[in-house]
Amino acid sequence: MVDESSNEMNDDSTTDSVTETEKFDVIYSCLRCNTKVSNSELNRLPEIKCICGFRVFTKVRPPIVKTVKAI
């Protein structure tokens, strides 16, 4: 009975860590071919390079416009 509750706790912590990593996954875009690549895909490769061979990426930003009130 104690083992079952500890297994359930371990499963919950595993799903929490997975959602946190998915939440902070950054999307980059190649400047030459405009291919979208995630940060986790770039970390798998030995060098930061697109499939076209270009090494320059830009960070894709969300289309949300933030307004700030002036003081």
Residue ranges of the binding site for Zn(2+): 33, 50, 52
Q: By the 8 A CB rule, do 62 and 26 touch?
A: no
Task: Please report, in range form, the residues annotated as the binding site.
Answer: 33, 50, 52
- Position 31: which residue type? L
> Which residues, 6 or more positions from 26, have their beta carbon under 8 angstroms from its beta carbon?
38, 39, 59
Single out the residue of 71, 29, 31, 36 nearest to residue 54, CA to CA.
31
